[in-house]
């Protein structure tokens, strides 16, 4: 078994601090103010407030009002959440109620 050096521990701590400071850029595409859209909005806002406080930008885009934006992102279903930054790029489809899945996809929690 390898022994972890102080330098390695410091490097990991530095990386963890950098991750905590990363800004998230998210776009949530919805279809009007349907119950499913409203649920997705409430769920993703709660996830962001609890886990990304002060370090996220969330744009909510109604594809009925701005269909060109949806086409540019190749949205095929709604609600769809797109994580633009930090990389890697990710897409989530649904009402955003599976908090664990969203947190893992946003790299805020590890798979068990």
Grade residue 1 by pLDDT with cuts at 50, 70 and 90: low
pLDDT of residue 2: 65
With tokens 């490097």, the residue in question is 11
pTM for this predicted structure:
0.80
Residue 48, token pair as written in the block: 């962001």
> What is the per-residue pLDDT across 33-52, written as a single tens digit (0 to 9) for each?
999 999 999 999 999 999 99
- Residues whose CB falls within 8 Å of the CB of residue 69, separated by 6 or more in sequence, listed in order: 29, 61, 63
pLDDT of residue 20: 65
SS3 71: helix
Q: State which fold the 6-105 domain adopts.
A: Glutaredoxin (3.40.30)
């Amino acid at each position: 078994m390898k022994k972890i050096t102080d330098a390695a521990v410091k490097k990991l701590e530095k990386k963890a601090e950098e991750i905590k400071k990363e800004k998230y850029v998210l776009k949530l595409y919805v279809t009007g103010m349907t119950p499913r859209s409203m649920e997705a909005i409430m769920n993703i806002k709660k996830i962001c407030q609890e886990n990304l406080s002060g370090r996220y930008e969330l744009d909510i885009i109604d594809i009925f009002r701005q269909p060109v934006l949806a086409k540019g992102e190749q949205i095929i279903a709604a609600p769809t959440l797109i994580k633009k930054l930090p990389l890697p790029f990710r897409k989530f489809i649904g009402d955003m109620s599976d908090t664990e899945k969203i947190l893992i996809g946003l790299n805020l929690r590890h798979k068990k």
